[in-house]
């Protein structure tokens, strides 16, 4: 049995094609190493501070995001994609941003990367919409699926923050570097950040590979499996304790 066979057995296969621009491609070092890569919302998008009311309900959030024009990603989108799933989920998965299919359908992770994500969820006994919420760091599709710019992620972050306040998940899983950096507000290297418990405002956060990146190397596939086991153990400990 090859490693690929094993992975297929685990629900991690088959091999999906990567998007034209791999979602987890490293950002330019110059941008990533400079603190200016993580400007605060106030610095770059003053209007955003008032765009999200601390008491905003799901309905208000959905209406606001649908009409949002706080960053230039609004220009090419068909629609903003807020998220999908159980509003009281224990599990929150956060991706990078909608791709073409997500932009068309208005739901995160419905294209090829989504099939992979669903396989990974199934591998730890989870299903989309059942105790799981799926969102993205940015709600509007970046043109050509490029990585969202730091100022775009910062402009959109208040929406994700409000989603997290409303959901109150027991565990957050950041899928790939842009999601991890947006949530942790620091430079993240997946290889170093995975396998550890991070903290998002008191909620445990685990960083793992973006599903679209996953199938590039066998080594990373094996590591992704370790990450899934780590997530499941962490949730079990949270529920037990």
Q: Does 108 bind ligand URA (CB under 6 A)?
A: yes
Work out how close the CB of 190 gets to ligand URA at its nearest, in angstroms, rounded to a whole number: 14
Residue of 96, 152, 187, 227 that binds ligand URA (CB under 6 A): 96
Distance CA 49, CA 135 (A): 20
**Scanning residues 35 to 94, which ones bind ligand URA (CB under 6 A)?**
none
Structure tokens at 136: 């993205």
Of ligand SF4, ligand URA, none, which one sits near residue 220, judging by CB under 5 to 8 A according to partner kind?
A: none
Distance CA 37, CA 92 (A): 25
Of ligand URA, ligand SF4, none, which one sits near residue 193, judging by CB under 5 to 8 A according to partner kind?
A: none
Q: Does 23 bind ligand URA (CB under 6 A)?
A: yes
Q: Are 146 and 179 in contact (CB under 8 A)?
A: no
Using the contact rule CB under 6 A, the part of the chain among 10-18, 107-115, 160-168, 193-201 near ligand URA is: 107-115
Residue of 68, 113, 206, 224 that binds ligand URA (CB under 6 A): 113
Residue 168, classed as helix, strand or coil, is coil
203-208 and 198-200 beta bridge pairing: antiparallel
C-beta closer to ligand URA: residue 64 or 136 = 136
Work out how close the CB of 227 gets to ligand URA at its nearest, in angstroms, rounded to a whole number: 16
Residue 152: partners with Cβ closer than 8 Å, 6 or more residues away: 71, 72, 73, 138, 142
C-beta closer to ligand URA: residue 7 or 116 = 116
Of ligand URA, ligand SF4, none, which one sits near residue 154, judging by CB under 5 to 8 A according to partner kind?
A: none
Distance CA 90, CA 174 (A): 14
Residues that bind ligand SF4 (CB under 6 A): 65, 68-71, 73-74, 80, 138-140, 152, 155-156
Distance CA 90, CA 203 (A): 11
Strand order of the sheet with strand 198-200? 84-85, 132-136, 91-95, 171-175, 203-208, 198-200
What binding mask, one character per residue, do residues 132-151 give for ligand URA by CB under 6 A, x or -? ----x---------------
């Amino acid at each position: 049995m090859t490693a690929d066979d094993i992975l297929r057995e685990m629900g991690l296969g088959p091999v999906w094609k990567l998007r034209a621009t791999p979602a987890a491609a490293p950002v330019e070092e110059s941008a990533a190493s400079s603190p200016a890569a993580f400007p605060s919302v106030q610095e770059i998008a003053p209007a955003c501070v008032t765009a999200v009311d601390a008491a905003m309900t799901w309905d208000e959030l959905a209406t606001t995001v649908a009409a949002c024009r706080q960053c230039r990603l609004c220009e090419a989108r068909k629609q903003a994609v807020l998220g999908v799933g159980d509003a009281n989920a224990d599990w929150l998965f956060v991706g990078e941003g909608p791709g073409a299919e997500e932009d068309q359908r208005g739901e995160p992770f419905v294209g090829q990367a989504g099939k992979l994500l669903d396989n990974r969820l199934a591998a730890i006994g989870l299903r989309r919409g059942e105790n799981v919420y799926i969102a993205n760091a940015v709600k509007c599709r970046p043109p050509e699926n490029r990585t969202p710019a730091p100022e775009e992620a910062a402009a959109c972050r208040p929406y994700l923050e409000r989603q997290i306040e409303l959901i109150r998940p027991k565990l957050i899983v950041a899928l790939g570097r842009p999601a991890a950096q947006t949530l942790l507000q620091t430079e993240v290297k997946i290889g170093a950040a995975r396998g550890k418990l991070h903290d998002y405002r008191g909620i445990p956060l685990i960083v793992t590979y973006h599903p679209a990146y996953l199938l590039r190397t066998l080594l990373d596939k094996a590591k992704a499996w370790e990450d899934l086991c780590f997530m499941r153990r962490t949730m079990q400990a949270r529920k037990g304790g």
